[in-house]
Amino acid sequence: MLGAFPDFDSNAKFHHFANDEVTMRVVIDGHGPDVVFIPGGDATAECYSQQFALLSDAFRCTSYDPRGAGSTTSPPAPWTIADFARDCAAVIDAYCDGSAVVCGLSLGGLVTQQVAIDFPEKVRLAIPMGTAAFIDGFTRDWMQAEIDLRKDGISLPEYFLAPHYAPYAFPAKALHDPELWGKVKEAYTTRFADRDPQDLIDQWQACLDFDCREALKTCPVPMHVISFSEDVQTAPSMCKVVADLAPRGAFHELEGLGHVSMTRHKPDVVADKLRGIILEATAI
């Protein structure tokens, strides 16, 4: 699946992490305060390669392949978001100086919240993007349908993968940019053609089982929630619930961006927002 995202530049260093529970492929680039990026569903560390390129001048950026993606291995599912959070905490312990800014998109946004709840001493600042405290409504029905489709043994043909998944990731104006669409079409075909159906089921089911609404009310970590105005998967209203529940929550909405606009579409806009939040919130 690595070809589904832009590659890291030559300065990035790859590491092999292992403990009694998981083995993970970890990538690190840059110098400065630690920022750990948690990938979303079906994604490897490479989903943050463009953010690394834009932010590694000021921060030591770390990401990894989560359970159910890339070369990471873990105990068999079912998994919970708490399991994913424990993996992130282990990465912080192994590669960061005691604590880090933690940022994640989509599934990674859920994990970001859980790390802040379960390991507040390890999280200087939490930045969940395209996230939710609990998945309901349209998003729940769509995700359940994707799971049930695979449980029924149905596979989407390759010619249908990009037209199916890209509208959930990018806004209409981006999809109708011929140059961008050519890149997205190739990338999303690669990404989902090679996707193990069971891994998708296991990751997405963990998201549907997640509910941190009560726990957020007592989370002491500053939580800056980033939403995207054209996000079909996690609408800004879902993200705002997270910011409103967290005692130290703040809500941000980026206009004209979709769920995965941080890759290929508007990586610079997302990186600029992240840089500003981190510098202001942590006074570094």
Q: Give 37-73 pLDDT, tens digit per residue.
A: 999 999 999 999 999 999 999 999 999 999 999 989 9
Sign of CA dihedral 94, 26, 90, 169: positive
Nearest CA to 107 among 144, 127, 132? Answer: 132
- Alpha helices in 62-106, H assignment, sequence order: 81-95
CATH fold of 2-282? Rossmann fold (3.40.50)
Residues 159-178 have pLDDT tens digits of 999 999 999 999 999 999 99
pLDDT in tens, 179-210: 999 999 999 999 899 899 999 999 999 999 99
- Which of 204, 201, 206, 203 lies closest to 155, judged by CA? 201
Give the pLDDT score at 1.
38
Q: What residue spans define the domains of the chain?
A: 2-282
C-alpha–C-alpha distance, residues 168 and 22, integer Å: 30
Task: Give me the residue label for tokens 């029924």.
Answer: 152
pLDDT of residue 269: 98
Q: C-alpha distances in angstroms, 223 versus 51, 113, 133, 162, 277?
A: 20, 8, 12, 33, 10
Cα–Cα distance measured from residue 264 to residue 268, given in angstroms and rounded to the nearest whole number: 9
pLDDT for the residue 229 = 98
Of all residues in the chain, the percent with pLDDT exceeding 90 is: 92
